[in-house]
Amino acid sequence: MCEAHAYLITDGKEERILESVDQVELNGEEVTLVNIFGEQKTIKATFKRYDNQAGKIVFEPLA
């Protein structure tokens, strides 16, 4: 099983914000992430890219 981790682009760099992401829900300007441990994080961001090989889900914060 391949695990994906969520990253937020901060100052031009990808900062890991949540490990082992299991669910991603888009609600307008908000993105809610839930990992395999039930930890939840909601951010105001847009989806940038998903890289299965690297296990990355990358978001860009809203200005």
Whether the full predicted model's pTM is greater than 0.75, yes or no, is yes
Dist. CA 49–CA 56, nearest whole Å = 8
Residue 2 DSSP label: -
50: left (phi over 0), alpha (psi -120 to 50) or beta: beta
Confidence of residue 60 (pLDDT cuts 50, 70, 90): very high
Dist. CA 14–CA 25, nearest whole Å = 20
Find where tokens 């990358």 sit: 58
Segment 3-38, tens digit of pLDDT: 899 999 999 999 999 999 999 999 999 999 999 999
Of the candidates 58, 54, 59, 57, the one whose C-alpha atom is nearest the C-alpha of residue 2 is 54
**Extents of the domains making up the chain:** 4-61
